[in-house]
Amino acid sequence: MDSGGIRRRLALGAAVLAAAGTLGLVTAGAAQADTAGGCAGREVRTLPFGTGVTHVYKNNGYVCAITVARHPGPPQTMSVSVQARGNRAVVDQGSYRHLAGPVTVHAGHRCVWIKGSVGQAPGVSSGWILC
């Protein structure tokens, strides 16, 4: 193979690698943008309480919830949980500045119980909903 053919193949290989890298960055950015907003699907409930609000979303049998602090600031204890009837609750609890979750469970057509809290104040507990 002559040196012109080698150069062409190297240039083609470099172009393919550059395109693959760009595609990877674009895909990663799209995934972050999708999850940065919290949950996929449509919002079906808003559960307000004194120190925050818990948003509930539904999408193809999945239920997702996030808890958002009314006054973001220094880290404080926050939690959100979703429990499909007959299963254990899936919980995200920790020290956060603004948002706990998202937490997603497959509920199908079963009822779910949503809980959310921010700080030491009483939070929200939905009871069985979305039946």
Q: Which sequence spans correspond to the domains of the chain?
A: 1-36, 39-129
Compute the radius of gyration of the chain from its Cα atoms.
22
Q: What is the CATH number of domain 39-129?
A: 2.60.40
- Tens of pLDDT, residue by residue over 79-94, are 999 999 999 999 999 9
**pTM to 2 decimal places:** 0.72
- Tens of pLDDT, residue by residue over 61-114, are 999 999 999 999 999 999 999 999 999 999 999 999 999 999 999 999 999 999
Q: How far apart are CA 39 and CA 47, in angstroms?
A: 15
